[in-house]
Amino acid sequence: MPHDRELGKQIFADQFQKAQEDMGLFTYSDRGFNLTEHKGVTHYDWLDIETIFGFKEDRFTTDEICIDIFFSCKTSIRLTESTPGWYQFNKRLSQAIPAVSENWDADIMHPPFATNMILLFDKGNRSREQAEKVCYNS
């Protein structure tokens, strides 16, 4: 039985390592990234990012870590930890925008099943509440 546990741990570690290295739906350049979705490929410039929120969505038995990115052209995208290339995207995001910690998701882990919305970046230096009003029209 101990051999099976060790094998299971190794398989999980290998899968996790592969997920961390996977580029998924993204390609990168110095200026930004391309995101391939069902409607095609869209390019986004790092410099066009206005505001970024991190949060969790309650999926009943688990939480899904999410990120909403708002751009100067009034478009936005939502990415989740299920998005192929999630780990590489977060790594590249923190390199392009140093204000975004590479481990920001640890800040929203607890308590479980709560949204725990945080403002990761706002080009206008607004408070979370001010940025939420503008971005989510609330």
Q: Give the chain's domains with CATH numbers.
A: 24-136 (2.30.29)
- Give counts: helices (H), strands (E), the chain: 3, 7
Higher pLDDT, 27 or 20: 27
pLDDT at position 83 over 70: yes
- Angle (CA) 128-130-135 rounded to 5° is 90
| 5-44 b/e (C-beta count within 10 Å ≥ 16 → b) | eeeeeeeeeeeeeeeeeeebbbebeeebbebeeeeeeeeb
d(CA 65, CA 125): 24
Average of pLDDT values for 76-97?
96
Work out whether strand 63-71 and strand 49-58 pair parallel, antiparallel, or are unpaired. Answer: antiparallel
- Integer angstrom CA distances of residue 3 from 6, 10, 15: 5, 10, 18
Average of pLDDT values for 86-95?
96
pLDDT at position 28 over 80: yes
Residue 7 confidence (pLDDT): 65
Residue 14 confidence (pLDDT): 62
Q: Write out pLDDT tens, residues 57-67.
A: 887 788 899 99
